[in-house]
Amino acid sequence: MHADLLVICLLAAFLSIDVRTIGGTMLSRPLVVAPLTGLLLGDAKTGFMVAYFIELVWVGMLPVGAYLPVEVLPVTVVSVYLASAYIHTPGLGSSSESIIMFCIIISIPVGFMSRWLESHIRELNSRLSDYLDREMQEERIPNVEMIQYMNIAVTLLKGFLVCFIPIFFGNHVLLNVYNSLPDNVKASMGTSFYLVPLVGIAVVMEIFFMKKYTLHFALSFIAVFVFSFFTRVSPFLIMALSIFVAILLLYLGREKKKTSV
């Protein structure tokens, strides 16, 4: 267990240098972090379930400019680790959705703590900028390099600790908390696992939706409902065909604009 925990936290530390330190590669997003964590724990299914949930809920919160949203990397890692451990606990007798929802809820404060630490790290960097300017003017390149490496080391340490501490010290305590919850609360959390991501879907629609595609959007939903309800065709196949038709319509619309110009 401790070996798995160290590996997972080292992965989180490495991915935490994304966005601010090495540029926005999106490697620290839940869609990448959660499946990787699940694969390392031997529970890819839980990793993908956590990935879809957290990515949808936080899809509109990106670190643009000086804005610091809740950091989803530690929330994702802690959620996957705890959920994977609790799901495979003998005698727990709860659905995977209920356990995953509980683990995500209790992991959200970790994201706020990580954001608080990140804000103080940025304040420290601002204070060091004047020192770096003086060192550059005096051509003391080794000192500049030392500050850069120190900044990366601090980020790595933060990424490691914000995942390691809540898992190491809270694993068994939080399991007892979950066992003490009433059955109706656990069932409600299992239901909310499928309802809460609708907020993320609404955010995506608000960002990308265009009025001229309202009819196509409505028809795609009706087609999925009709075919899945009255036939044995897989809903995933219908969704794939709907996406293909949408892409085809977008392509034909652009070609039409080009020919008209």
Could you read off the pLDDT of 189-231 as tens digits, one per residue? 888 888 877 777 777 776 666 666 667 667 777 776 777 677 6
Q: What is the DSSP letter of 234?
A: -
The answer to whether 26 touches 47, Cβ cutoff 8 Å, is: no
Domain that holds residue 58: 2-208
Answer yes or no: do 22 and 142 share one domain: yes
Residues 161 and 238 in one domain: no
Domain count, the chain: 2
Q: Which of 191, 208, 225 is the last residue of a domain?
A: 208
Pair (10, 120) in one structural domain: yes
Cα–Cα distance, 23 to 95 (Å, whole number): 39
Q: Which of 173, 191, 208 is the last residue of a domain?
A: 208
Task: Identify whether residues 89 and 165 lie together within a single domain.
Answer: yes
Are 199 and 252 in a shared domain? no
pTM of the shown model: 0.77
Query: Which residue among 208, 226, 247 closes a domain?
Result: 208
pLDDT in tens, 137-187: 777 777 777 877 888 888 889 999 999 999 999 888 988 999 888 889 888
12 in the same domain as 124? yes
CB atoms within 10 A of CB 261: 5
Comparing 128 with 251, the larger pLDDT belongs to 128
Shared-domain flag, residues 37 and 151? yes
Closest by CA position to 125, among listed 17, 12, 21: 21
Name the residue among 121, 82, 118 with its Cα closest to residue 103: 82
Nearest to 249 by CA among 213, 225, 220: 213
Helices (H), the chain: 2-15, 30-40, 44-57, 72-87, 96-137, 141-180, 183-195, 197-208, 214-230, 235-260
Are 214 and 204 in the same domain? no
Same domain, yes or no, for 163 and 245? Answer: no
| Cα radius of gyration rounded to whole Å, the chain | 23
For the four alpha carbons of 83, 12, 118 and 57, in that order, the dihedral sign comes to negative
Residues 68, 113, single domain; the answer is: yes
Kindly state whether residues 214 and 96 are assigned to the same domain.
no
Asked if residue 222 and residue 196 are part of one domain, the reply reads no
Contact 9, 156 (CB under 8 A): no
Query: What is the band of 243 on the pLDDT scale with cuts at 50, 70, 90?
Result: low
Number of Cβ atoms within 10 Å of the Cβ of 98? 24
